Amino acid sequence: MSKASAEELARTLRVAHLLGLVSLYGHSSVRVGPETILVTPGRALGSPPPNRLRADDVLSVSLDGSVLEGRYPPPRDIAVHLAIYRARREVEAVLHTHQPEMLALGLVERELLPLAHQGADLIQSPLPRFGSGELVTTQAQADALVQTMGAAAACNLPGHGVLVVGTGLAHVLCRAQQLEEQARMTRLAISMGELKTVSRDQAERIAGQRAGMEDFRNYYAAIDPGPGPAPPPNPDPDTVIGVKELVARSCHILRRFGVVRHLEHVSHRLPEPGRFVISPRGDLGQLRAEQVASVDMAGNWVDGPLEPPPFRFLHRDIFLARADVRAIVHTHETYGRLYPAAGLAVLPVHRTGALVVRRRLPVYDIPDLIFDEEPRRAVLALLGDGPIVHERAHGTDYVAATIEKATAAAVHREWIAELYHRAAQLGTPRPLSDAALEQVSREEPAASEWWDYWLGL
């Protein structure tokens, strides 16, 4: 395996992560011989996410799909990479992203406006689109995608991501970044009336004057943060301090995504029956396990230095009513509060978060703190045997059998609501196809993978 190419490939995905173009998912490949490519690994047990990739994680794959070298499986949609390299001799590198501005644009009937000089040449014709959120895993689907793409530099995969091709790794990264900037400017310009754009002639002239890719390659090497650290080992869930540590980590993740600050809370059953733990008030971004309080099923404060919040009674009610629930996450989010207030549903417009927003959201329609018995009973009734209940103008409760699931649902619901909102500013967002939703619901929920990825950030 070419060491230099493997290094540059791993770096490409790390930098794409740094630039917000990929998160847990996303992959890239580069041609290294007439019949051979290097590709970053797919999601599998132990495979590193983009921010933690190293050269020796990369796979060497023959264009017929057989893995020549590599310790992890290839991406599930590797058929796309292979079909592109087979059909387009000029393509030397491929990058698959889940970049948010392009995702929003892909969901509506609207073309990118060439508003920035760099990358204006990429969007002089409408970008091709393929699918409605399905993962392209078969050769027939991949060939159809290549056909749709023609000679274009990129293809939007609505409800999923973006594919960018180019003459090298710096080239695809730079193209993905330029598309994201054009998409962002297009969205920001939406209420500004007529704008002057870069014409085809101007775009071609600028592209011709452009320096080679060496500048970009040097720049990407300079900003490469290197492989990120592995997440901390899991605490022992059979001990009180281990469970408190899980609650503290959930709070850190939720704080990172802005859905908690200091008045929200996370709770978790203890191994000992009749007890649970709950986060106290305070900066949840810095909560330490020792600060988490234990409570009994009467709501009494059992241990911990800080008084548990009065909302513990709602959590207690949920734990008593739902033997299947081991963790509860309560958030105060932004986009996720706007939509119920408007009486609107967030549609499942992306694979990530689709299952969280797919079912109708039960809403307790009185802006209130849920202290007293009457609102508690009403909220509990609305929750029923479901995973989520929303309190209008207040927040949302997510319940699950694992804290990873409850935390991922909270982060993903806000993420998909923000994506939906971006797209709704641009037009009428199209949800995933039934086939894509079916595919997503059949997949193993990856909550623990997201959890590990977030903790490693």
Cβ(108)–Cβ(419) below 8 Å: no
Measured from the CB atom, the residue of 52 and 315 that comes closer to Zn ion is: 315
Measured from the CB atom, the residue of 60 and 279 that comes closer to Zn ion is: 279
Helix 447-455 with 240-256: angle, nearest 10 deg: 80
Measured from the CB atom, the residue of 99 and 178 that comes closer to Zn ion is: 99
Residue 276: CB minimum distance to Zn ion, A: 17
**From CA 197, how far away is CA 440, in angstroms rounded?**
39
Measured from the CB atom, the residue of 25 and 453 that comes closer to Zn ion is: 25
Contact string (CB under 5 A) for Zn ion, positions 15-34, x = contact: ----------x---------
Measured from the CB atom, the residue of 387 and 395 that comes closer to Zn ion is: 395
Residue 370: CB minimum distance to Zn ion, A: 8
Measured from the CB atom, the residue of 38 and 329 that comes closer to Zn ion is: 329
Residue 157: CB minimum distance to Zn ion, A: 7
Measured from the CB atom, the residue of 50 and 166 that comes closer to Zn ion is: 50
Residue 263: CB minimum distance to Zn ion, A: 6
Measured from the CB atom, the residue of 200 and 371 that comes closer to Zn ion is: 371
Q: Which stretch binds Zn ion (CB under 5 A): 61-69, 174-182, 285-293, 389-397?
A: 389-397
Q: Which stretch binds Zn ion (CB under 5 A): 28-36, 82-90, 105-113, 391-399?
A: 391-399
**Total of chain residues touching Zn ion, rule CB under 5 A:** 3
Measured from the CB atom, the residue of 275 and 332 that comes closer to Zn ion is: 332
For residue 131, the one-letter residue type is G
Residue 417: CB minimum distance to Zn ion, A: 17
**From CA 1, how far away is CA 5, in angstroms rounded?**
8
Q: Kindly report the CA angle at 234 between 274 and 312, in degrees rounded to 5? A: 30
Query: Considering only residues 186-245, where is the footprint of Zn ion by CB under 5 A?
Result: none
Measured from the CB atom, the residue of 114 and 158 that comes closer to Zn ion is: 158
Indicate whether 106 belongs to the interface with Zn ion (CB under 5 A): no
Residue 124: CB minimum distance to Zn ion, A: 26
Looking at 19-89, list the stretches that DSSP marks H as alpha helix, in order from N- to C-terminal side. 78-87
Residue 202 CB contacts under 8 Å (≥ 6 apart), including other chains: 117, 120
- Of 313, 279, 310, 277, nearest to 298 by C-alpha is 313
Q: How many CB atoms lie under 10 A from the CB of residue 226?
A: 10
DSSP string, 140-189: HHHHHHHHHHTT-SEEEETTTEEEEEESSHHHHHHHHHHHHHHHHHHHHG
Query: Considering only residues 136-165, where is the footprint of Zn ion by CB under 5 A?
Result: 161
Residue 98: CB minimum distance to Zn ion, A: 6
- Radius of gyration in angstroms for the set of CA atoms belonging to the chain, rounded to a whole number: 24
Pairing of strands 161-166, 154-157: antiparallel
Residue 117: CB minimum distance to Zn ion, A: 29
Residue 43: CB minimum distance to Zn ion, A: 10
Residue 265: CB minimum distance to Zn ion, A: 8
Indicate whether 395 belongs to the interface with Zn ion (CB under 5 A): yes
Indicate whether 336 belongs to the interface with Zn ion (CB under 5 A): no
Cβ(40)–Cβ(9) below 8 Å: yes
Determine the straight-line distance between the first and last CA of the chain, rounded to whole angstroms: 29
- Please count the residues of the chain: 457
DSSP 8-class letter at 420: H
Measured from the CB atom, the residue of 118 and 141 that comes closer to Zn ion is: 141
**From CA 404, how far away is CA 247, in angstroms rounded?**
10
Residue 329: CB minimum distance to Zn ion, A: 11
Q: Which long-range contacts (CB under 8 A, 24 or more apart) does 174-177 make?
A: 174/213, 174/216, 175/95, 175/119, 175/122, 176/16, 176/21, 176/95, 176/97, 176/99, 177/19, 177/21
In the complex, the residues that contact Zn ion under the rule CB under 5 A are 25, 161, 395
